[in-house]
């Protein structure tokens, strides 16, 4: 077969019956579909249509939500990928077998923003077909422009995507930041952030960190939503701590109290305290503080950590055992955290008596 030999109609019939209904021009070429045949199939009223530059839909009707996702990824992915790995072509049969990562047509591209949150099953995210744009994250060096329904989000460092239904999707915290960047009202931003925490999709600190890196914390409507997010995260973590104590039959502590030396300075607040065993539990719900300057955020976070460490060291010098828990630990391994607290309570019998401290309501 030479370049002048007419194309056989068999590849087109094979593609029409394939489950993969969205292909790039490079993939179609790998199936034996040349430029002339491609133009003929995509003529007005023809059986195929062009969705995006170099990306084709192999049926005449409107694309489904899944087809739009794959089309956006094909447009943004590396152009040198020539064929779908699961469908070997005649030209590729004699070539060495390539690693899977080199054969994916979506290399260095993943869905992000509102579309990604919909794939992560956010109830507050809109249906995929209602989105005018699908955000696709690509490396900053990618030479490509947003077009049609594919909007490119450039990034210096790509996170590791999660595969959802065969679609590479940005992690929740990163997708949140990309979604918030496109929203101008506090209501939708607050709903997304609240669902992220309440639904256990990500921790507040991770969400705020991504918003901070995206330089979104200078926007007033984002700052208002972040305040609600941190309060929501704190309340959820406290509820999990209450449930852990109750479900694992730990002794009932004094909740949310301040410790103070008699006649001396305040030692600070703790989330739970067992005075007979001198054991305290602290929830670490700290997150980067928002301000107009990144330097101020870093300085504030550093000062907050120093104060936190100083309080813990002071309590431990007084003989009080401080158990440090994070919301993530309580969510992912409550059994293990209950064991840690129980061990601290039991070990109190082998320690020297702690200094007497006053316990006051927080």
- Answer whether 67's CB lies under 8 Å from 21's CB: yes
H helical segments located in 31-112: 35-41, 65-76, 100-103
pLDDT of residue 290: 45
Q: Is 206 within a domain?
A: no
Give the number of domains in the chain.
2
Q: Is 74 within a domain?
A: yes
Which 8-state DSSP code applies to residue 58?
A: S
Q: Is 25 within a domain?
A: yes
> 21-30, 71-80, 346-355: which range is least confident on average?
71-80
Q: Is 199 within a domain?
A: no
For residues 158 and 79, membership in a common domain is answered with yes
* 7: pLDDT strictly greater than 90: no
Structure-token pair, residue 362: 């927080």
> 146-150, 170-174, 251-255, 263-267: which range is least confident on average?
263-267
For residues 57 and 161, membership in a common domain is answered with yes
- Answer whether 63's CB lies under 8 Å from 71's CB: yes
**CATH code of the domain in which 324 resides:** 3.40.960
- Answer whether 73's CB lies under 8 Å from 103's CB: no
For residues 133 and 278, membership in a common domain is answered with no
For residues 42 and 165, membership in a common domain is answered with yes
Which pTM was predicted? 0.71
Q: Is 192 within a domain?
A: no
Structure-token pair, residue 214: 């995206």
Q: Is 79 within a domain?
A: yes
152, β-bridge pairs: 136
For residues 20 and 151, membership in a common domain is answered with yes
Q: What is the mean pLDDT of the chain?
A: 82
pLDDT of residue 154: 95
Residue with token string 């496109």: 182
* 150: pLDDT strictly greater than 60: yes
Least Cα distance to 117 among 178, 52, 159 occurs for: 178
Quote the CA–CA distance of 109 and 43 in Å, as a whole number: 30
For residues 258 and 178, membership in a common domain is answered with no
Structure-token pair, residue 350: 């082998």
Quote the CA–CA distance of 150 and 69 in Å, as a whole number: 9
Percent of the chain as helix, strand, coil, to the nearest 5: 40, 15, 40
pLDDT tens, position by position, 246-292 = 999 999 999 999 999 988 788 889 999 999 999 999 988 765 544 43
Q: Is 334 within a domain?
A: yes
**Final residue before a domain boundary, out of 163, 182, 201:** 182
The more confident residue out of 95 and 78 is: 78
**Final residue before a domain boundary, out of 165, 182, 199:** 182
Q: Is 216 within a domain?
A: no
For residues 49 and 174, membership in a common domain is answered with yes
Q: Which residues form the domain of 272?
A: 250-361
CA torsion through residues 248, 249, 253, 256, sign: positive
**Final residue before a domain boundary, out of 182, 211, 228:** 182
The more confident residue out of 335 and 40 is: 335
């Amino acid at each position: 077969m030479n370049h002048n030999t007419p194309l056989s109609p068999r590849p087109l019939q094979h593609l029409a019956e394939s489950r993969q209904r969205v292909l790039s021009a490079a993939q179609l070429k790998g199936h034996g579909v040349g430029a002339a045949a491609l133009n003929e199939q995509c003529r007005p009223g023809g059986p195929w249509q062009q969705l995006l530059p170099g990306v084709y839909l192999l049926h005449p009707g409107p694309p489904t939500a899944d087809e739009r996702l794959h089309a956006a990824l094909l447009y943004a992915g590396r152009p040198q990928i020539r064929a779908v790995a699961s469908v070997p072509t005649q030209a590729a049969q004699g070539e060495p077998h390539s690693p899977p990562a080199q054969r994916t047509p979506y290399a260095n591209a993943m869905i992000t923003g509102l579309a990604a949150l919909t794939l992560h099953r956010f109830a507050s995210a809109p249906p995929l077909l209602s989105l005018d744009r699908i955000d696709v994250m690509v490396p900053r060096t990618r030479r490509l422009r947003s077009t049609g329904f594919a909007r490119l989000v450039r990034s210096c460092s790509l996170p590791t995507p999660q595969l959802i239904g065969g679609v590479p999707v940005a992690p929740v915290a990163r997708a949140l930041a990309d979604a918030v960047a496109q929203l101008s009202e506090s209501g939708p931003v607050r709903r997304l952030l609240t669902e992220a925490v309440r639904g256990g999709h990500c921790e507040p600190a991770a969400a705020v960190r991504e918003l901070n890196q995206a330089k979104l914390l200078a926007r007033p409507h984002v700052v208002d939503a972040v305040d609600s997010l941190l309060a929501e995260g704190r309340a959820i973590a406290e509820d999990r701590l209450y449930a852990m104590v109750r479900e694992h039959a730990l002794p009932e502590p004094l909740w949310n109290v301040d410790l103070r030396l008699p006649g001396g300075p305040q030692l600070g607040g703790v989330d739970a305290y067992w005075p007979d065993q001198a054991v305290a539990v602290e929830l670490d719900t700290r997150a980067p503080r928002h301000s107009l300057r990144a330097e101020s955020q870093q300085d504030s976070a550093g000062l907050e950590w120093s104060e936190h460490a100083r309080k813990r060291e002071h309590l431990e010098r007084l003989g009080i055992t401080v158990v440090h828990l994070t919301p993530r630990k309580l969510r992912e391994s409550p059994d293990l955290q209950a064991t840690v607290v129980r061990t601290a309570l039991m070990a109190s019998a082998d320690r020297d008596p702690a200094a007497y401290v006053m316990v006051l309501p927080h």
